[in-house]
A = this chain, B = another copy of it.
Amino acid sequence: MKNLTLEEIGKKARRAKEVLRTLSTNEKNEVLRASADALISQIEMLLAENKLDVEQARKNQMAAALVDRLQLTEARIAQMAEGLRQIADLEDPVGEVLSMKQRPNGLMIGQKRVPLGVIGIIYESRPNVTADAFGLCFKAGNVVILRGGKDAIHSNSAITTVLRDALAKCSLPADAIQLITDTSHETAETFMRLNQYVDVLIPRGGAGLIRTVVEHATVPVIETGTGNCHIYVDQSADLSMAMDIIVNAKTQRIGVCNACESLVVHQNIKDALLPALAQRLKEKNVELRGDEASRSACADILPATEEDWGTEYLDYILSVKTVPGIEEAISHINRYNTGHSEAIITNDYHNSQKFLDEVDAAAVYVNASTRFTDGFEFGFGAEIGISTQKLHARGPMGLKELTSTKYIVYGNGQVRP
């Protein structure tokens, strides 16, 4: 593909948007299934293009973990294809009328779900995002403009070409997906200000990427954020349940935004909980860093600094804070959390409700692992990210969060008096 200007890309997106808005669910599903087939039939080509990226990355001495994220395999391509088929099976959010009421003057006013229009996705080096983001945006009737990382440019271009061909074969505009192939920062920043053509930006990647987008964008952004998630173990907690949940939330998967990073413990149970918990976490190689009170209960806990309370480790480390009661637990969490997922382990009715009411986060749990904050676990069947902002969408975002609404009004000649 030659480098188009952003203006050209924007105009093509706008034309494609007009077509996508009118597609039936069946037409969209046909494209998704054809795209899945096309990815499978092009595995050789995709692997060859990906190899170019991987070789360049190794030449640039990219860290092994990042090279792994970049690398495609037959299995990973099959997974991308399967993801598109799963999206085809999901209910189409577009067209639902959320409510329709008759006003005293006879006007029938309803709110109908419609596509957002053109969605810009800015992401880092995982090439699978190219197919996933297209699938979700397309199912919700949206055009997508992708700006991936420089490291994955051959892979992203190859995947985009396959998807564009699949669209064209279904007699639909290939411009339903476009990739910005100029990966300069200047072009990315101009893209973030392309309000004339882009309705919303969704950055997918680390904290640095998201900060950059929020800082530079004039297009509205849906911020997917970091998770400094807490578990508070209340005095009345079932300690065995608490330990199972903490071990799960901390270690079931390290490096994800809904993993537990900080433990808050009622002071009256620190001696009963912490030594036994430390033992179990030690088996998983988790380092504990706590305040003085926690260290008096368990010698294995290293001293924590102020910085620990605000840190999303994404690592085998857990901070431990002791508190005299629920009030202080909530204050501590509301001060240091990132608005992602927070849990209380308790058997106290009043405290459970108070925690749900007063902790300010996208998802608040009683007696369950924070690891459930996820579009699949919440039953949405898919996920484009987890929003930690308060506008438009908060928490896991599925297909519905990729739509807007419009008011439709049926009259019979009404004028305003």
Contact = CB atoms under 8 A, between A and B. Distances in A.
A103 B407 contact: no
A335 to B, nearest CB: 10
A391 B392 contact: yes
Interface stretch (A61-69, A83-91, A212-220): A212-220
Contact of A416 (B199, B220, B377): B377
Main secondary structure of the interface of A (DSSP, over half): mixed
Interface in A374-412: 377-379, 389-392, 394-396, 404-412
Nearest to A415: B248
Interface string A97-110: 00001010001010
A279 interface: no
A241 interface: yes
A363 B406 contact: yes
Given A369-B415, A395-B407, 6 more contacts: A107-B372, A222-B391, A245-B413, A368-B414, A377-B416, A396-B407
Contact of A366 (B200, B222, B392, B409): B409
> Could you say which interface size class chain A belongs to?
35 or more
Interface stretch (A32-40, A152-160, A301-309, A352-360): A352-360
Interface string A271-292: 0000000000000000000000
**How many copies of this chain does one complex carry?**
2
Contacts of A390: 116-117, 199-200, 220, 404
Contacts of A415: 244-245, 248-249, 252, 368-369, 371
A334 interface: yes
B407 A363 contact: yes
A18 interface: yes
Contacts of A371: 415-416
Interface string A119-142: 000000000000000000000000
Interface in A15-67: 18, 21-22
A77 B412 CA distance: 38
Given A109-B378, A195-B214, A358-B21, A364 B395 contact: no
A365 B408 CA distance: 6
A199 B238 CA distance: 36
A357 B115 CA distance: 11
